[in-house]
Amino acid sequence: MASYVKVHKNAKGLRTKPFIHYDSLIEPFGRDRAYGLGAKGSTEADEDLNNDNKFVDIEENGLDEITVPSHVTRTLAHPPSARTRKRARDAYSQCLGDMVNTLRSFVDMTKPHLETMQGVLMNEHVTFERSGKLVDELMKIEGINDYDVIEVAVAIIGDDSKIELLFSLPDNLKSQWIHKLLGLLERWMLEMIVCLSFLLFCSWDNMMTPVMI
């Protein structure tokens, strides 16, 4: 305690004062150096520092023959993340290419059917327009009624040559031709009625004739 007071002037009030538990505390706190596993004094620390500063000759120890494998170099040149991104891009490009090829094949397969459907729709459209124009043209002809218009339209709607003839004739010839056509239709209807009547009469006669046993 006397030595401690000499160094620390502010502790002179502790002179002649008893230090309780001094003997018990001297063991853990009274040492002048660290102790335990890994503890080193100043001498050991200086030796380790000198060892760290020693020069190691690579050629003398045979380390100059060590080579780095080529696959390690390639690994460093292409990090895993870069390879992963490249594979993802390649997979996306392949998938996109497959989709384009599939779509192209689908278009090639359906193209003939689409052309056929387009042709049918065009024909239906032309037929519809032609029917409307035909009816309008027939209604301009004097001397025929609505029923005659329907009969003539039904008779010539499927014949392009007759329709072209109707639109190409002047009005006077057009009227004569339609009336003649109506006359032919009436005669044809009469002939059909006669034929049907004859067939009905023959059938009825056969039914009324007694069967000879």
0.75 cut: is pTM over it? no
CA quadruple 143, 148, 149, 151: dihedral positive or negative?
Answer: negative
User: Out of 36-40, 47-51, 84-88, 132-136, which region has the weakest mean confidence (pLDDT)?
Assistant: 36-40
pLDDT at 64 over 80: no
CA dihedral 144, 149, 155, 161 (to 10 degrees): 90
Helices within the chain (DSSP H only): 2-7, 22-29, 42-52, 70-77, 80-139, 146-156, 160-168, 171-208
The domain of 113 spans 94-206
Whether 153 is covered by a domain: the verdict is yes
Residue 4: per-residue pLDDT:
64
Query: For the chain, what is the mean pLDDT?
Result: 70
Whether 169 is covered by a domain: the verdict is yes
Q: Are 1 and 19 in contact (CB under 8 A)?
A: yes
Mean pLDDT confidence for 87-116: 78
Whether 139 is covered by a domain: the verdict is yes
pLDDT at 71 over 60: no
pLDDT at 182 over 60: yes
Whether 1 is covered by a domain: the verdict is no
User: Out of 50-64, 83-97, 125-139, which region has the weakest mean confidence (pLDDT)?
Assistant: 50-64
pLDDT band at 123 (very low <50, low <70, confident <90, very high): low
Whether 152 is covered by a domain: the verdict is yes
Whether 131 is covered by a domain: the verdict is yes
Per DSSP, 107 falls in state: H
Per DSSP, 4 falls in state: H
Mean pLDDT confidence for 45-73: 53
Residue 2: per-residue pLDDT:
62
Cα angle for residues 78, 84, 85 (degrees, 5° grid): 95
Whether 61 is covered by a domain: the verdict is no
Residue 128: per-residue pLDDT:
61
Name the domain count of the chain: 1
Residue 33: per-residue pLDDT:
53
- Residue 212's φ and ψ, nearest 5 degrees, are -80, 125
User: Out of 4-13, 84-93, 160-169, 183-192, which region has the weakest mean confidence (pLDDT)?
Assistant: 4-13
pLDDT at 17 over 60: yes
Whether 75 is covered by a domain: the verdict is no
Residue 191: per-residue pLDDT:
75
Closest CA to 178 of 193, 199, 196, 163: 163
